[in-house]
Chain A
Amino acid sequence: MKRLRSKGKSCVQTEIVETKNVTVVDSHHHGLASKNEIRSLRKSLIDWYDGNKRNLQWRDLAKHSDPNIRGYSVLVSEIMLQQTQVATVKSYYSKWIEKWPDFKSLSQATLEEVNTLWSGLGYYSRGRRLYEAACKVVFEMDGMMPQKAEQLQKRLPGVGPYTAAAIGSIAFNEPVGLVDGNVIRVITRLCSIGADTNKKSVVDVIWKLANELVDPERPGDFNQAIMELGATVCVPKSPHCQSCPISSLCRANKRATHHSAGCPTDIEDVPDCSLCLPIDQPWVETDGVTNYPRKAKKSAAKIARNMVLIVERTAKESASNEYLLWQRPVNGLLANLWEFPSFPSHPWSDDSNESSELTNALDQSKALLTGRAIERCQYVADVYHQFSHIDQTYGVYRVVVSPCEDADDDVLALPDHYQGFRWLNARQIAEAAVSTAMKKVFRAFTQNVDGSGSRSSSSSVKRKTKSKDTGTVFKKQMTLQSFFRSDQTQ
């Protein structure tokens, strides 16, 4: 049940929202025309959400009595959910909340601990910003987080307009709309917006619409409903319009059903409209509802190849070998994570033709490893990893260095901005703040090099002939139906 205070406030808000509405909705269907339509949309969506929502841990915590716990729980879940699927986030979320249930406990952690727990979730700067936000709330705001979207965005690191609106509406019942990928899809279809959604001007309009449509009484539920609808019903390919609660209001659905029935529609693309489908890429009959949203094509991912040197030393008294890892710079890709020393190579080379690059890399590593001699270097495997914007191949090499009498003389000349180095054994590597890509590299390494793990110390001296193995990079046989469509006319 709503508290009276917030109810009173939201009524005022309703008036403003609905009068503003008239000015934004233009003459040809890029909005909902009447107050009745908007009311019906809110009701249908929220009724549907009440009956269909998934049970997720953060949704329960968002109802906690302490506003700071509510805000914290939503903040953590929203940051984890950025660019990451719900299924992946679930387990990380419960581990996180168990370890750090509130801002105070998180502010007492170290960045290293945060990175370790975040390890595998990707986009590592998110974890760091969350930690910084907790420190800020505890040390600069007396442990009380801001409760308005505008303030949240202004004052907390890592909180953008989306996350601010999500926290404001879900945790503090502030009537603000929000826009993410799911909402863009639902709104462009609902309001037949065919303009390029990579453009800021178009996204601005969608934000405006989201603010108009949001339910003033249950903004958090409305926002989650529209996102959930986008994630489960109004999906990118073959949306389930039959079971959609708002299909009767949906302009794209209207257009698709009218077209397939052969009736003329009142929805037509207006040549000079900045929101209609572009005239040179008109409505495609067979695509139906999925004509929306339109996106300009992204440029292809960059292709890169790095040589990864797994430098192996026999530990003096322990039984397991240790490997050299260094810590990446504070900023940039995979910031602060530990990795095996890597050096760029040419994107299209492979182990047979990168010998000069390898020599350079080894020279650099020699500078790193004063006091140790490189006994041998051997190619192990190629490992492929897809980052969102880079197709990365790692050429993995095993570099065995001579044991050193005095371990303290490992003086490393690190590349610029790199933060430090450590020797870790296989078990420690599994637990350290290491990216998924580097874990893959190490997995390929252990699969291909016998005795690299925890055998007797003499194992590092044995010569192994086994190098490349079929098991390094698992490749799946595709079928032709993934590429060619069945052709019914034949």
Chain B
Amino acid sequence: MFEARLLQGSLLKKVMEALKELLNEAAWDCSDAGIQLQAMDNSHVSLVSLNLRAEGFDKYRCDRNLSMGMNLGSMSKILKCASNEDIITIKAQDNADTVTFVFESPEQDKVSDYEMKLMNLDQEHLGIPETDYACTIRLPSSEFARICRDLSQFGESMVISCTKEGVRFSATGDIGTGNIKLAQSAKVDKEEEAVVIEMQEPVSLTFACRYLNSFTKATSLSKSVQLSMSPEVPLVVEYKIEDIGHVRYYLAPKIEDEEAA
């Protein structure tokens, strides 16, 4: 028996927004520690990793580990039927081929339930090594969304360069070049509005704007976002989900075709 109850049902609606642009389907792996989801987009260029801890739910029970393959398009349709104030409960039997979503209004005067068929998914799971990144950049998530939107008008790739002085985003294309520089915030009155850079060594990497824009669909989950980079490894874009977990996106860089000297 699996049951997870979330008072703040809107959180799950937002998580759905953060996933469905990149993924058509995904396996939700449930254990007594919580819910985890890891999946690559079809092109295998980016990866989404979602972690929702058991303690973050108002009620959480998972007797046996189970992996629920869900069509995210269908799941999104169902979650659209929930109002933002609703309490959402996800339920499944141990070997069931369906999952049930229950939406309760705050006053308990309306209760709806939706049953959805599960899918058999044979997904590749990647082992992601713990990495000490050369640069981590924390910035307001809305600022990051704005930067990605603005620069994707210029070209399909964006260069993110991080130095001691600050971080620079730039894109180049037919109409010209766009550069956005953010300096470390001098004063930090509100922590979530700060730009904070921690750097061991400067890094400059190129990424496809398209994926970055998809990642920013998670903006509503968190006031700030953290970017982690090291030379020649995938970028990590992390949105914390308050008190309950995080969603992390990994994006493979664009690298120049090597040519021997």
Contact = CB atoms under 8 A, between A and B. Distances in A.
B177 A486 contact: no
B255 A475 contact: yes
B169 to A, nearest CB: 13
A490 B27 CA distance: 12
A473 B172 CA distance: 12
Contacts, number: 97
Interface in A313-353: 348, 350, 352
Interface stretch (B44-52, B53-61, B218-226, B240-248): B44-52
Interface stretch (A70-78, A194-202, A379-387, A406-414): A379-387
A470 interface: yes
A386 B179 contact: no
Nearest to A472: B172
A487 B261 contact: no
A470 B157 contact: yes
Contacts of A350: 161
A152 to B, nearest CB: 27
B177 A480 contact: no
A486 B260 CA distance: 29
Contacts of A475: 157, 206, 254-257
Interface in A357-389: 384-388
B45 A476 contact: no
A482 B252 contact: yes
A121 to B, nearest CB: 9
Contacts of A88: 260
B189 interface: no
A348 B163 contact: yes
Nearest to B163: A348
Nearest to A478: B252
B127 A84 contact: no
B42 to A, nearest CB: 11
Contact of A484 (B129, B255, B260): B129
A388 B261 contact: yes
B90 to A, nearest CB: 21
B125 interface: yes
Contacts of A470: 155-157, 172-174
A468 B253 contact: no
A243 interface: no
Contact of A436 (B208, B254, B259): B259
A477 B45 contact: yes
B186 interface: no
Interface residues of A, number: 36
A413 B228 CA distance: 47
A485 interface: yes
B254 A476 contact: yes
B177 A483 contact: no
A88 B233 CA distance: 29
B47 A480 contact: yes
B78 to A, nearest CB: 26
Interface in A182-240: none
A356 interface: no
A23 interface: no
A479 B254 CA distance: 9
B43 interface: yes
A85 B258 CA distance: 14
Nearest to A474: B257
Interface string A404-441: 00000000000000000000000000000000110010
A483 B261 contact: no
A386 B124 contact: no
B131 to A, nearest CB: 10
Interface in B162-198: 163, 172-174, 176-177, 179
Interface string B199-223: 0001010101000000000000000
B234 interface: yes
B172 A469 contact: yes
A468 B258 CA distance: 21
Contact of B261 (A85, A386, A480, A485): A386
Contacts of B156: 470
A480 B250 contact: yes
A481 B41 CA distance: 12
A386 B128 contact: no
B72 interface: no
A11 to B, nearest CB: 43
A446 B250 CA distance: 36
A478 B43 contact: no
Interface string B3-44: 000000000000000000000000001000000000010011
Given A481-B44, A483-B234, A122 B252 contact: no
A88 B157 CA distance: 32
A475 B258 CA distance: 10
A88 B45 CA distance: 31
A436 B29 CA distance: 51
B256 A473 contact: yes
Contacts of A474: 256-257
Contacts of B253: 478
A480 B259 contact: no
Interface string A135-157: 00000000000000000000000
Nearest first, the 3 A-B pairs at minimum CB distance are: A487-B127, A490-B125, A475-B254
